[in-house]
């Protein structure tokens, strides 16, 4: 799983002081707020200080929550940390606000994980594990919500237009979607085979699907685990996907690709545009996921079929090496190339292989 958490540090000023020194009342308030926020309590630990002050800690399925009261100052400090939809944090905070009736509330939101970022509504950071992060200005927030699988954000940027982020990783932008898609589709076009039946794994933004349809295949199958990404792309990223999802040649499967490729399917071309941590959805280590994926993809490919895939940024050398070893164990004519994608602010690695 990608390390990504949402921490809200909140200060409630001039609260109802009667409850602030009551350990049982604060425990009950905490449990009620957890329930109202659709979070899930695992354990409560509390302590009443002498002469005043109470600390209550909750271990929740989604991480943890802590409160400490200062009855003498009519003040309560709250720390909410979750690895789920941040809207639940806000519902929790609103419930506390309603019950404590403070004169004012001060709140800081911190993005936790590979990077630590104090959130501002007008910036979004796509973090990496190899020495630098990329920060994008948000001209307009178009959408931000946790799906069943990941945090989905769509913003408008002055230079790159509309941009799609999944768990804070940039996936595509209007400005250079054509450059990214071309790296995956051009090798298929140049393969010298008749592409009658193609498959796209991932690619829920519809950009690659739109490009593949221009090769005039008979059928295209798109497999993506998150239906929300597809529906939101239709709504907000229509310059990228156009009307690709409505094309009668297209069949969409909403499921984990590992489950899909267990079935009986045959394709002339397969384009793999999965996220950088696809095994997280299946609970499989990345190395094992790649070997399983490529084994099953090979079985699905027609003779002399072609596979193309994205491998991440050029500095993700360990990931590229894992992909290279796995590909060469299963395929022939394995090739890698890089292309600079302006919105990613770095060279991106792509691969192709034949059965």
**How do the domains of the chain map onto residue ranges?**
4-113, 123-173, 177-354
pLDDT value, residue 2: 65
| Token digits of residue 35 | 């329930």
| Alpha-carbon distances, residue 179 vs 70, 198, 245 (angstroms) | 57, 20, 20
Fold classified for 4-113 = 3.60.90
Start-to-end C-alpha separation, the chain: 31
Count Cβ atoms within 10 A of the Cβ of residue 22 and give its class: 0-12 exposed, 13-18 middle, 19 or more buried: middle
pLDDT value, residue 122: 77
| Token digits of residue 306 | 């072609």
Active site residue 16: no
Q: pLDDT of 264-321, one tens digit each?
A: 889 999 999 998 777 666 667 888 889 999 999 999 999 999 999 999 999 999 899 9
Residues of the chain with pLDDT under 70: 1-3, 120-121, 129, 279-283
| Token digits of residue 134 | 């990329």
| Alpha-carbon distances, residue 313 vs 23, 68, 318 (angstroms) | 51, 44, 11
Torsion of CA 315, 321, 326, 330, to 10 degrees: 100
Farthest CA pair distance, the chain: 82
pLDDT value, residue 280: 63
DSSP 37: T
Whether 4-113 shares its CATH topology with 177-354 is answered no
**What CATH architecture does domain 177-354 belong to?**
3-Layer(aba) Sandwich (3.40)
Q: Which of 114, 127, 261 is nearest to 202 (CA)?
A: 261
CATH 2.60.120.10 fits 123-173, yes or no: no
Q: pLDDT of 59-91, one tens digit each?
A: 999 999 999 999 988 999 999 999 988 899 999
Active-site residue among 79, 133, 273, 288? 273
pLDDT value, residue 279: 65
pLDDT value, residue 284: 75
141 and 165 Cβ atoms separated by less than 8 Å? no
């Amino acid at each position: 799983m990608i390390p990504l958490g949402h921490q809200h540090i909140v200060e409630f000023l001039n609260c109802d002081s009667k409850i602030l020194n009551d350990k049982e009342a604060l425990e009950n308030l905490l449990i009620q707020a957890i329930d109202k926020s659709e979070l899930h309590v695992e354990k409560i630990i509390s302590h009443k200080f002498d002469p005043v002050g109470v600390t209550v800690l909750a271990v929740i399925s989604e991480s943890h929550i802590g409160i400490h009261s200062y009855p003498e100052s009519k003040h309560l400090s709250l720390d909410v940390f979750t690895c789920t939809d941040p809207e639940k944090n806000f519902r929790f905070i609103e419930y506390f606000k309603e019950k404590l009736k403070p004169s004012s509330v001060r709140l800081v939101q911190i993005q936790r994980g590979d990077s630590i970022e104090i959130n501002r509504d007008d910036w979004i950071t796509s973090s990496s594990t190899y020495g630098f992060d990329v920060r994008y200005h948000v001209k307009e927030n178009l959408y931000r919500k946790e799906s069943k699988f990941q945090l989905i954000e769509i913003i408008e940027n002055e230079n790159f237009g509309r941009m799609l982020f999944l768990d804070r990783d940039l996936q595509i932008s209007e400005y250079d979607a054509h450059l990214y898609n071309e790296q995956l589709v051009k090798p298929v076009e140049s393969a010298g085979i008749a592409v009658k039946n193609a498959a796209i794994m991932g690619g829920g933004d519809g950009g690659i699907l739109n490009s593949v349809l221009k090769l005039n295949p008979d059928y295209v199958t798109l497999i993506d685990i998150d239906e929300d990404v597809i529906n939101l792309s239709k709504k907000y990223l229509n310059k990228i996907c156009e009307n690709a999802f409505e094309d009668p040649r297209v069949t969409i499967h909403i499921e984990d690709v590992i489950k899909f490729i267990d079935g009986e399917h045959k394709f002339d071309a397969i384009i793999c545009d999965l996220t950088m941590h696809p095994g997280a959805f299946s609970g499989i280590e990345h190395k094992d996921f790649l070997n399983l994926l490529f084994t099953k993809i090979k079985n699905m490919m027609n003779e002399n079929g072609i596979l193309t895939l994205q491998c991440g940024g050029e500095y993700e050398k360990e990931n590229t090496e894992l992909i290279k070893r796995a590909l060469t164990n299963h395929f022939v004519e394995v090739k890698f190339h890089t292309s600079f994608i302006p919105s990613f602010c770095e060279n991106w690695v792509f691969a192709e292989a034949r059965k």
